[in-house]
Chain A
């Protein structure tokens, strides 16, 4: 049964993939054929063939490496910044959520600023922060580029984790709380034995959002600060030469998407290992 279910899922995956490919190519074919210009004119520059994007991966870049290898290095650079940022962001987010749940005063005083932090356009803030950190010195040296970039990933990661941790900690069953009360349990015991386990599904929902946000954060962190080694640098670079080689930018997007998906799947896997719940409650 399990094998059959797996085969089914693989089949559906490829069917959807094939369907998307058909929509892409069908759209391109129809618009080129009819000469429609709305919403935009379709040609090999605005919408290259998918197979040309894939073939482009085998072409050499100005660095000497083939595109697939160049993008792999870039993706790994970005992945490191995103992963470190995600990890710290998740820890800070969780810690902040716990702290805010324990102290009412803190929650009322702090929450507006936590929310406000996310209303600042990250595109405007990122270069200031990343450049600013370039003049900081750690043991006489400026922090490495990827570490500066990861701060932006932290910034985008912590917020959903804080909000959902807070919500999750407050979601514990009132009767379960009465039960803890009847055991004369200490606050810390209630927190670790009841509130945190109750909050885990909420926290993992937030981590899934945060996982992809951290990749976006790392890319945005690189782009305006002229950090060249990552996917953000590649996007800026290929964007400038789009007219010459549009498939380079499209290929970069594929890598960025794959990276986001990989982060997401890592969180899904971690959730499966950690959260023991009634199956129907797994979302």
Chain B
């Protein structure tokens, strides 16, 4: 583990007791500060489980997960990471502003400080003026932006994202990809991003971690050397297509022929 490591996974395995399914096997991975790492693989490859192990939502059966130089559990108790799921998971009974300030309430921030931070976050995700709305009054893309604002509101060192744009249409998805990259640059946070989509993984990441199913393991790690900052033009560069092809071939080598673009089915369904 280097000093710059935000996430350090050593010999990680996860066997779900029910059915004895091996969701993860011998996972080793280092993620450094400021990286944007995608976990990509077909359904059942354990990428969501891996994300949950990093976030101490799921306990590994073997090995250890170190986040910010401490066990994942300690990191969770220290509120070291923000999390965004595929569904926005907003509270219907709270306004946009109060949804964003939910973690801040738990951290004991004063009302004035919360209000100030909520405005900053609304600016960041370009939802200024929507603070008084309720979630159901917003489109799916806007809801997911609120969810991102909530995850970033307390400036966590690490942002965990579990197919955050999987349920959105292609246009919205590409726009939010751009927005996420801008936020990543502005906040300097480290992102671990689970996705089904090869092009999304290539476009966003500094590294793409390719996983295979049964048992879930890392088959290769592809450095994505596309120039920063990435723009819509990036998607048309020959190097972009080369990398997409490279990742696709790696996925096919793993026997993951059934890879599908944004699938809605919950990928693990083991818990």
Contacts and interface: CB of A to CB of B under 8 A. Distances in A.
Interface of A: 173, 175-176, 178-179, 181-185, 189, 193-194, 197, 200, 275-279, 281
Contact of A275 (B87, B93, B106): B93
23 contacts: A173-B89, A175-B85, A175-B89, A178-B52, A178-B85, A179-B83, A179-B89, A181-B57, A182-B81, A182-B82, A182-B83, A183-B79, A184-B77, A193-B102, A193-B105, A197-B93, A276-B92, A276-B93, A276-B94, A277-B93, A277-B136, A278-B136, A279-B136
A185 B106 contact: yes
B10 interface: no
B91 interface: yes
Nearest to B77: A184
B189 to A, nearest CB: 15
Interface in B45-102: 52, 55, 57, 76-79, 81-83, 85, 87, 89, 91-94, 102
Contacts of A179: 83, 85, 89
Given A179-B83, A276-B134, A279-B136, A184 B76 contact: yes
Contact of B91 (A176, A181, A182, A275): A176
A276 B90 CA distance: 13
Nearest to B73: A184
Nearest to A196: B93
Contact of B89 (A176, A189, A197, A279): A176
B140 to A, nearest CB: 13
Chain B interface category by residue count: 20 to 34
The 9 residue pairs across chains A and B that have the minimum distance between CB atoms: A278-B136, A276-B93, A175-B89, A184-B77, A197-B93, A182-B83, A183-B106, A175-B85, A183-B103
A213 B244 CA distance: 65
Contacts, number: 52
B100 to A, nearest CB: 13
B83 A189 contact: no
Interface in B94-138: 94, 102-103, 105-106, 134-136
Nearest to A181: B57
Contacts of B79: 183-184
Contacts of B92: 276-278, 281
A235 B23 CA distance: 68
Nearest to A279: B136
A200 B93 CA distance: 10
Most buried by B among A184, A194, A277: A184
Interface string B165-186: 0000000000000000000000
